[in-house]
Structure 1
Amino acid sequence: MPLRKDAAQNRRHIVEIARRYVDEGKPLQLNDVARTASIGVATVYRHFPTPEALLEAVALPALEELVRRAGQASTEPDPWTALHDFLAAAIETMLADPAVPPVFAAATTSLEHTGDLRRGLVTAFAQLLSRAHAAGVIDPAVTEADMTPLMCGIAYAAKVHNTLGPAEQAATGLRYLDLLLTGVRRP
């Protein structure tokens, strides 16, 4: 059932305020978001029962874009390029949107749509990795379970130096990804 116009506006405003909090590195406390948004606390809780649900709502546009980029990668005829392009998009997303890494790292999701997107990304990655294995362009010993923490490590390593701006972090992350992929690539 669609939201009433005023409820939809409140929801958008809450997500906008939460987006600012996340971008500024502030803790995402629902009472604080309500106060900043000048919206009743009960209204915020009605839309987002937990801070995790609100964080997922903030991350949704980036996750949806990453799913779109996974779809693009799946149409790439070269398995190596397809895998590289998807992993590069994932690194760029993790570095560009501070809401994404904790949503990926969470054991569960609060919003059904977030769960669907995460499952879609896992499936897309598995298919791209499987294609690369079948083509013989990646070490057959490399698994999804290996790549997930390595990708998180790349994002962390690129962000650890707070003196780097967003463009430098992205370039560093992509350079680290290329180094990693060079190590697992088969000629």
Structure 2
Amino acid sequence: MSPAPMRKDAARNRQRIVDVGRQLVNDGAPLQLNDVARLAEVGVATVYRHFPTPEALMETLATPGLEALVARAERALTEDEPWQALADFLDTTLEAQLTDPAISIVRAAPHHVLPRTTELATTLDSLAGELLDRAHAAGTVRTVVTWDDLRPLMCGAAYAATVHADGQETRLASGRRYLSVMLHGLRR
């Protein structure tokens, strides 16, 4: 049985909360639910009713980006050239991490509070592992490399690009340079 549809005012308040949360995350500010309530001009109880924890709000913000990455990984698995499919997927992943801070935060979290986030993260890891397995089978990637190795390396490349470069374009260029070095090391 699906939940009852949300009242229009409740849906409007939820969207205001999400919009404020997105702005705070994009600005690099912490997600404090009391601050979100103040900035969204809603009651604190309203925020907590929709998002019981800051992590729930953060995961909600990351969901569209995670869904897009899952879709990209699924498309990559249909591509003919395993190495290029993996490299392009990793490039898309890096770009998502550098343009949507919520994705990096959620992907680096040791656990998730929303079942949908857990589902997306598990699916994404599984699909990425399949992409890597295809590249292994094609003989284009060193066999000692696992997705458990690549995932933190991707987070590290995104983090390094964020810390060592100012502005989104410079971060993307730096991140892609770091990814290129990493891909060069992976290739057989």
- TM-score normalised to the size of structure 2? 0.94
Q: Is residue 161 of structure 1 aligned with residue 149 of structure 2?
A: no
CA distance in structure 1 between the aligned counterparts of 2:179 and 2:100, rounded to whole angstroms:
18
Q: Distance between the aligned counterparts of 2:174 and 2:186, measured in 1?
A: 19
1:108 to 107, 111, 115: 111
Partner of 1:183: 185
Residue 64 of structure 2 aligns with which residue?
Answer: 61
Q: What CA distance in whole angstroms lies between the structure 1 residues aligned with 2:19 and 2:164?
A: 27
**What are the within-5 Å matches in structure 2 for residues 17-166 of structure 1?**
17-162=20-165, 164-166=166-168
CA–CA separation in structure 1 for the residues paired with 2:147 and 2:67: 21
State how far apart, in whole Å, the 1-side matches of 2:96 and 2:167 are. 15
Give the CA RMSD over aligned residues: 1.1
65-74 or 134-143, larger mean C-alpha shift:
65-74
Aligned amino acid, residue 89 of structure 1: T
Runs of 4+ in 1 over 2 A off after TM superposition: none
Identical-pair percentage: 55
**Unaligned stretches of 5+ residues in structure 1:** none
Q: Which sections of structure 2, spanning at least 5 residues, go unmatched?
A: none
DSSP-derived class of the 2:164 partner: coil
Q: Per-residue deviation at 1:161?
A: 2.0
- Equivalenced residue count is 185
Moved more, 37-46 or 58-67: 58-67
Residue identity opposite 1:169 in structure 2: R
Equivalent residue number for residue 172 of structure 2: 170
Distance in 2 (CA, whole Å) between partners of 1:114 and 1:36 is 26
Matched residue SS, 1:43? helix
User: For the residues of structure 2 that align with 1:73 and 1:171, how far apart are their CA atoms?
Assistant: 23
Alignment-mate amino acid for residue 175 of structure 1: R
TM-score (normalizing by structure 1): 0.95
